Structure 1
């Protein structure tokens, strides 16, 4: 009779073969918006040279469930069935309401996916996670101008969203290129827009990162400045204090880094800002893709960590997204700016363990704490039973295990071949939903 351990092995191997066929393979994309919601990372839109629709801007919403373990070679991407953004979206910024029930999408390029024509209807759109419906919120106050290449932050304590600068050009309905240096604030409680202080505000800027610290200070790092789009000095940090509506400039100390734009940033629990990727100017190489800013020091201090398993690290990329989940920093999608073939970005997925700055290929979610009771006798009995079971497998059981392994290998090979054939024929059709109504 097959015991439970043998059945478990068979079950796991069959599941592995099924997973090979079922995993969704998304097309390459860059300049997508992302937001972390209840153990899922959502990716909204982006622009892709492999979009099956007329417009290269995507209307798709992907998500990744990070409550389960998986490998970077086969991340379990999924999409919200029959729900798309009302337009193709890229170079926008997304944020979650403090109530955790609405995703707001602000700014960016908006294209009709079937005609590739400008589909601008509002600077702000809202996606209700409970009803899966898109709406245009009715807001008060000074509504911002159209802009893209922005990075906003939401303060969950106050419900206020902050977004600085951005670009308006022919791509989003402007006759000339205009780069902004205004700070727009949306109070999500009253849906009222207002403006932040302009005193000592930075020069017009785009393609930067914005990180909100627990003390209410937003740290703006890098980016492009002015209408000529020159690199911002990465050591000159623009700081905005949300509590007193005041701008200041801090010169960071530590190592000298390459200036960069279109990079990413995450904030760790000990208030370090980890930046990754980006390019100098237009597609020039950044020497150190990974760097850390310690905001507990005064002034803040840059360092370059010693990194392990660099052969699992991403290539030179920009216009990607970064999300911190526990001790793991996820790097997703983006533009591989020195490659001619964008499909070389597959699998679009990289994970950095920030505990020891090691690139890993498997994600393991944090397990809930287990309460250990003082029952040493029972525990010892259980361990003895387990050891006996493992050491007293019969020849028949061993034969069954090997048979199951062999059968599962055959299943995996067949499923893999079928999955590969299906992938070759359908990968782009399956990656993007048909035209419809993020």
Structure 2
């Protein structure tokens, strides 16, 4: 059985739509140790480490929280922005700065090429511009372990220093969370000798009195770790997730246990607990990003222990302290108190994304127009051929002409006539003969549906075997 392919306008439209979306959409690479900051209804990301020959990357993009409804990697609302002069960066600190908390302020970390003019780089989310503010130089060093307290004023762009009296020993890979009372709580991490700080040891810096406070936490204490994340809930819980622990001198790490732990800070009582979350838990990761959006802890990117970097996002419902849940779908607006998500005004769009969208749309429209034209011509030609009796022969170069061949059974000689549907008086030469078109010995059936005044009449040519004269002679 033979099948004829019938073009589908719906199928063609879907293919072209998919092409345009592929041109416009952006999907970030898996990474860890990226720089990120939560500003308004967006989480901005820059750089990080990836599994490439050149591991440090320079891309800059954001996640639109207001339209984030699923952790499905294929439906995440990513938008790519323009970075700064191909600056490759990782392991830095990024915060929301400025008087209106609408500046992406990047400080320190590993930068390639090395930044000598400024270790502070700023992106204005309103004007979509980069800058390097002129600030009195902070004490620069190539050391990885420091215990000084450097304070940056992102409104007046000025550095100052806190006291080192009572400061803890130098460390890295810790988390820092500021409480509503102005205390910054430092949790975990390791020192220069890869000795991990016990999770019972809480070092705090009082931003009100510029003094260090050291407290020992109680409760069900989790194991030590570094590279974990921490968020603060509205009722004073510090929720930490992930992290890793060095287990050998050759650099092998293991996942921190448990992956989820909660520090209760209300009433100046610091008590650890290890809650069990329902749902499908994500793999234990380290050096990721985590932010509290409404009642949900949004976890992104990171390094999966013994597997490598990821680009996945995960969401932990934290509203009920007695029932934590891993979520695959969520309603951000319903979980955010009024006024928490503030719009970020972008008066100028990103040039690269805009140009890509315009070019992709134009190409898509051109392809769509060409496809529709082809579809129209195909159907028109098919309708023109409806009702035509197919006869043996071959195509010629004269319009819609055919060659009608009749075989003389006595002499086995072949006489051929060329004719065209678009011509009513075409001369066709064969040997020494010249005949009018159509040949006078062929019967013609006119299509009665066509107006007689139409010069382009449609006719059907019957082969000799079906002509009345031939049939009458054969069967009478």
The TM-score bracket by the shorter chain reads: 0.5 to 0.7
Q: CA deviation at 1:296?
A: 0.6
Q: CA deviation at 1:69?
A: 4.2
Aligned to 2:283: 315
- Structure 1 SS opposite 2:332: coil
**Structure 1 length-normalised TM:** 0.66
Paired with 2:331 and 2:26, the residues of 1 have a C-alpha distance of 20
Provide, for residues 166-212 of structure 1, a one-character-per-residue CA deviation record: whole Å limited to 9, x for no partner: xx35xxxxxxxx51110001122321111111111000011111101
- Quick one: which of 235, 248, 251 aligns to 2:213? 248
Paired with 1:192 and 1:66, the residues of 2 have a C-alpha distance of 31
- Quick one: which of 263, 277, 296 aligns to 1:328? 296
2:176 is equivalent to residue 206 of structure 1: no
2:42 is equivalent to residue 40 of structure 1: yes
Aligned to 1:135: 131
Paired with 1:297 and 1:20, the residues of 2 have a C-alpha distance of 52
Aligned to 2:105: 104
Provide, for residues 329-386 of structure 1, a one-character-per-residue CA deviation record: whole Å limited to 9, x for no partner: 11100011222xx36x3x511111112311011131224999xxxxxxxxxxxxxxxx
Aligned to 1:65: 64
- Quick one: which of 117, 123, 147 aligns to 1:181? 147
Paired with 1:110 and 1:31, the residues of 2 have a C-alpha distance of 12
Paired with 2:228 and 2:242, the residues of 1 have a C-alpha distance of 5
- Structure 1 SS opposite 2:51: coil
- Quick one: which of 8, 27, 30 aligns to 1:28? 30
5+ residue gaps, structure 1, are 1-9, 113-117, 147-167, 170-177, 371-438
- Quick one: which of 278, 300, 317 aligns to 2:270? 300
- Quick one: which of 315, 325, 333 aligns to 1:366? 333
- Structure 1 SS opposite 2:255: coil
1:83–1:132 CA contact under 8 A, matched in 2 = no
Aligned to 2:79: 79
- Structure 1 SS opposite 2:205: strand
Paired with 1:85 and 1:60, the residues of 2 have a C-alpha distance of 10
User: After superposition, where does 1:158-307 map in structure 2 within 5 Å?
Assistant: 168-169=142-143, 178-225=144-191, 227-281=192-246, 283-307=253-277
Change in CA separation of 1:315 and 1:184 when aligned onto 2, cut-off 3 Å? same
Higher RCO (CA < 8 A, seq sep 6+): 1
1:110–1:120 CA contact under 8 A, matched in 2 = no
- Structure 2 SS opposite 1:293: strand
Q: CA deviation at 1:120?
A: 4.7
Q: CA deviation at 1:75?
A: 3.9
Paired with 2:337 and 2:101, the residues of 1 have a C-alpha distance of 25
Paired with 2:21 and 2:219, the residues of 1 have a C-alpha distance of 46
1:251–1:299 CA contact under 8 A, matched in 2 = no
1:72–1:351 CA contact under 8 A, matched in 2 = yes
5+ residue gaps, structure 2, are 1-9, 339-476
2:312 is equivalent to residue 348 of structure 1: yes
Provide, for residues 221-270 of structure 1, a one-character-per-residue CA deviation record: whole Å limited to 9, x for no partner: 00111x21211111100011010010011000000210010100001001
Paired with 1:190 and 1:100, the residues of 2 have a C-alpha distance of 13
- Structure 1 SS opposite 2:49: coil
Change in CA separation of 1:314 and 1:120 when aligned onto 2, cut-off 3 Å? farther
Change in CA separation of 1:352 and 1:23 when aligned onto 2, cut-off 3 Å? farther
Paired with 1:205 and 1:223, the residues of 2 have a C-alpha distance of 6
Change in CA separation of 1:20 and 1:138 when aligned onto 2, cut-off 3 Å? closer
1:85–1:134 CA contact under 8 A, matched in 2 = no
Paired with 2:201 and 2:102, the residues of 1 have a C-alpha distance of 37
- Cα RMSD (Å): 2.5
Q: CA deviation at 1:36?
A: 1.2
Aligned length: 311
Q: CA deviation at 1:144?
A: 3.1
2:286–2:302 CA contact under 8 A, matched in 1 = yes
Change in CA separation of 1:65 and 1:85 when aligned onto 2, cut-off 3 Å? farther
Provide, for residues 12-57 of structure 1, a one-character-per-residue CA deviation record: whole Å limited to 9, x for no partner: xx9xx9699575332110001111122111111111113xxx6321
Aligned to 1:145: 140
